[in-house]
Amino acid sequence: MRIVLFDLDHTLISGDSDFEWAQFLIGQGVLDREVYEARNQEFYDAYMAGTLDIYAFLDFQLKPLSRHGLAQLEDWHALFMSQKILPMITSRAREEVAQAKETADYVVMITATNCFVTGPIAREFGISHLIATIPEKKNGNYTGQVDGVPCFREGKITRFHQWLENQGLSWESVNECRFYSDSHNDLPLLKMVSEPVAVDPDTILSEYARRCQWPVISLR
């Protein structure tokens, strides 16, 4: 059994979809710039530094989903895809995914960003399996809370094992597992897989990959 995992932000796309979603909503006048922009930057900086409080961030990021109906959110997301996400997808990234689909039994996008934001992006890449943070829903609408374990740091391992179980698989049945990521926040999962790949890595991951002699590539 061969599985290929792709992180999303700064890996398959040359930016951060979580950060850009909040900036998009600010630009649309949905969120107040004065209140949200500085806070959005603070969370992004904490993520890059490895000090992010994931639950505080999700409280910030998921609350706007609870204030609007799904139809309106999907309309905004379609515009977000065309204006923000598609320009951040390179031909090199598309080629890497296409090559993985030729050789792997499963190709999976695994990301800390919530599945409302990332679901359409996974579909754009033709990736049918998505492991992401799940926003809670009740009666067809988002509540602003997280459902289950956030898909972040060690939580990515937890969510990956849950996904395997849902596929009727186990970690023991996986002969090869490649994981592409840019971030030192993904080191727990990178250390677990048989083929870690650093993609346009941040400074911490770049140094770690050099010491461990992991492959380092660019999808830019």
Enclosing H/E stretch for 216: strand 216-217
What's the alpha-carbon Rg for the chain, to the nearest Å?
Answer: 17
CA-to-CA separations, 8 to 31, 35, 203, 220, in angstroms, rounded: 24, 27, 18, 13
Ramachandran angles phi, psi of 59, nearest 5°: -60, -40
Q: Which residue has the tokens 């530094």?
A: 49
Label residues 26-62 b or e (16+ Cβ within 10 Å = b).
Answer: beeebbeeeebeeebeebbeebbeeebebeebbebbb
53 labelled catalytic: no
The sign one gets for the Cα dihedral 119, 124, 128, 131 is negative
Q: Which of 7, 16, 186, 202 is catalytic?
A: 7
For the sheet containing 2-6, what is the strand order? 141-147, 129-138, 106-114, 2-6, 176-181, 195-199, 216-217
7 labelled catalytic: yes
Q: How far apart are CA 209 and CA 175, in angstroms?
A: 22
Q: Which of 9, 18, 182, 186 is catalytic?
A: 9
- Tokens standing for 171? 């970690």
Query: Which residues are known catalytic residues?
Result: 7, 9
